[in-house]
A and B are shown apart, each in its own frame.
Chain A
Amino acid sequence: QQPVQSPQAVILREGEDAVINCSSSKALYSVHWYRQKHGEAPVFLMILLKGGEQKGHDKISASFNEKKQQSSLYLTASQLSYSGTYFCGTEEDNFNKFYFGSGTKLNVKP
């Protein structure tokens, strides 16, 4: 079942922070985050596994609340290069079916 992402779009100034949310009504095994720039393939950012955890690298981090089946992506001190559409992807406990959310369009302006 397709996860629900919010917000649909965000406009930021360079240096501002953003949070993108992803939730599912199904029990999840993992949550993935991807960024896709216009005309390009999605690029993997990070994966969070069942058990609830938080991950991050550089100024991008994410958390996964297994009890609520929710994940959030945190973008700190945004840079122009962060612009793009962010997708969460979820794998449910029923093995190997993978669903992407509808995406959050992030526009970072100078």
Chain B
Amino acid sequence: DAGVTQSPTHLIKTRGQQVTLRCSPKSGHDTVSWYQQALGQGPQFIFQYYEEEERQRGNFPDRFSGHQFPNYSSELNVNALLLGDSALYLCASLAGGRTDTQYFGPGTRLTVL
């Protein structure tokens, strides 16, 4: 049973560029949440996708957008990258409803130069 997978593992971009991160949820899970974790900090909730719709959103600007596909996989897009966007981006999958056990993927380390 495959767990949560994310790609790529690492990414280096320059300011102003755009980036797309990908996540495949655990088998049987239909909900995906995205988090940003800066060094030494706790993960910050970006948004959650369920049934291909953004269900909830944290305090992140519109530069952060996402998408969920019919197979429940998800993408996180960040436009006009800033140095402060450098972080570990975590995807978590869960099975619908209220937040239940979240299974995290290994994350994508984004560095913005």
Contact = CB atoms under 8 A, between A and B. Distances in A.
A62 B46 CA distance: 27
Interface in A9-65: 29-30, 32, 40-44, 47
A2 B42 CA distance: 10
B56 to A, nearest CB: 4
A41 B90 contact: yes
A91 B98 contact: yes
Interface string B31-65: 00101000001111100100000011010000000
Please report whether the interface of chain B is mostly helix, strand, loop or mixed according to DSSP. Answer: loop
Nearest to B97: A96
Interface of A: 2, 29-30, 32, 40-44, 47, 87, 89, 91, 95-103
A98 B33 contact: yes
Contacts of A103: 41-42
B42 A96 contact: no
Contacts of B44: 100
Contact of B102 (A40, A44, A99): A44
Given A42-B90, A102-B42, A47 B55 contact: no
A54 B33 CA distance: 26
B101 interface: yes
Interface of B: 33, 35, 41-45, 48, 55-56, 58, 90, 98-107
Given A87-B43, A103-B42, A95 B106 contact: no
A40 B70 CA distance: 29
Nearest to B45: A98
| Those 6 A-B pairs whose CB atoms lie nearest each other, nearest first | A100-B42, A41-B104, A96-B56, A91-B99, A100-B43, A103-B42
A91 B45 CA distance: 11
Given A41-B105, A42-B90, A96-B56, A29 B98 contact: yes
Given A87-B43, A103-B41, A96 B98 contact: yes
B105 A102 contact: no
Nearest to A46: B101
Best-buried of B42, B55, B103, B107 by chain A (most CB within 10 Å): B42
